[in-house]
Amino acid sequence: MAPVPTIILDDRLLIEELLIGLAEEGERFTTTSWYYRACRAAVGGAGGHLSGPFLGLDAPHQATAIRSLLSLPDTISLSDPRSTVPVMAELSERHPRLNLLNLEAAATGLVLDATMLLSIETARGVLPEILDAENIRWRTVKID
C-alpha cells in the first residue's frame, strides 16, 4: 500500500475543502496564517476571493459554514510552530522580502515535505518562486 501524501491547503482551498470538499488525496494541513485569514474572511465577509464563497449561501447554511471553519475539523491539521518557526527564521535570511504568511507557508512545506496546493490567486504571487527555489513541490488547484 502506497503511503498517503501530505498536502498543504492555502486559505482559499481551505475554505473550498470545508464548504464543498476537494477531490485531492492526502493528509491535509494548512498554516496558522492561512487558517486565520480564512476565519477572518468568513466572519468579516468583505466579499473578496476568500469570503465570496460564504456570500452565496443562504443565512442558515452560511452560519453553519462559518461555524465549521471556526472549529477546524480533525481532518485538517495545523503546522506546529515549534518546528516551523526555526525554519522560517532560516528562510528569512535567504529570502528577506518574504512576509510572515509566505515564510510560514514555505517553512511548512519544508518541514512536512509536503505538496503545497495553491489557488490561482495565491499562485499569482511571490510564493511559487520561493517554493521553486526551495525545492518544495506545489501545484495550482482550480476551483469554480
Rg of the chain over all Cα atoms, to the nearest angstrom:
15
What's the pLDDT score for residue 39? 84
List the CATH code of the domain at 6-140.
Answer: 3.40.50.1010
Answer whether residue 139 shows pLDDT above 80. yes
Q: What is the pLDDT of residue 93?
A: 96
What's the pLDDT at 129? 95
Q: Is the pLDDT of residue 16 over 90?
A: no
Q: Pick the range with the lowest mean pLDDT from 26-35, 45-54, 62-71, 73-82.
A: 45-54
Q: What is the pLDDT of residue 123?
A: 95
Tell me the three cell numbers of residue 82.
Answer: 515549534
Least confident of 39-53, 66-80, 92-106, 130-144: 39-53
Write down the pLDDT at residue 21: 86
Tell me: pLDDT of 108 over 90. yes
Which uninterrupted H or E stretch holds 4? none
Tell me the DSSP string of 46-115: --STTTHHHHTS-HHHHHHHHHHHHS--TTEEEPPHHHHHHHHHHHHHH-TT--HHHHHHHHHHHHHT-E
Residue 19 has pLDDT above 60, yes or no: yes
pTM (2 d.p.): 0.88
Mean pLDDT of all residues in 89-93: 97
Query: How many C-beta atoms lie closer than 10 Å to residue 76's C-beta?
Result: 15
Between CA 47 and CA 55, with CA 52 as vertex, the angle to 5 degrees is 90
Residue ranges of the domains in the chain? 6-140
Quick one: average pLDDT of 52-56? 65
